[in-house]
Amino acid sequence: MRKLQLGLWGGLILFFLVFFSSVSVSSSGKEGLMMPLDRSKSNLVNLEVTHLYHVLKWVKWREDDLPPAGKPVKCLIVGKDDYRFSKRLSFLIAESETLVAGHGVQFLNFEKLDDALWFTQKDSSVLVLVCLDSIAGDWNHGLFPKRRGMIVYGQSDKFRKQGITFFSFSKGNRIRLMANVRRANSSGVTLSTALLKHKRFFHIENENASKPEGK
For the chain, what is the domain count? Answer: 1
Residue 24 lies in a domain: no
**Given this model, what pLDDT does residue 28 score?**
34
Residue 210 lies in a domain: no
Residue 105 lies in a domain: yes
pLDDT tens track, the chain, 215 positions: 444 344 444 544 444 443 344 333 333 333 333 334 356 888 889 999 999 999 998 899 999 999 999 999 999 999 999 999 999 999 999 999 999 999 999 999 999 999 999 999 999 999 999 999 999 999 999 999 999 999 999 999 999 999 999 999 987 778 889 999 899 999 999 988 777 666 655 666 655 433 444 44
Which CATH number do you get for residue 101?
A: 3.40.50.2300
**Given this model, what pLDDT does residue 209 score?**
39
Residue 8 lies in a domain: no
Residue 21 lies in a domain: no
Residue 154 lies in a domain: yes
**Given this model, what pLDDT does residue 92 score?**
95
Domain holding 200, by residue range, is: 45-205
Return the HEC string of the chain: CHHHHHHHHHHHHHHHHHHHHHHHHHCCCCHHHHHHHHHHHHHHHHHHHHHHHHHHHCEECCHHHCCCCCCCEEEEEECCCCCCHHHHHHHHHHHCCCCECCECEEEEEECCHHHHHHHHHHCCCEEEEEECHHHHHHCCHHHCCCCCCCEEEECCHHHCCCCCCEEEEEECCEEEEEEEHHHHHHCCCEECHHHHHCCCCEEEECCCCCCCCCC
Residue 138 lies in a domain: yes
Residue 14 lies in a domain: no
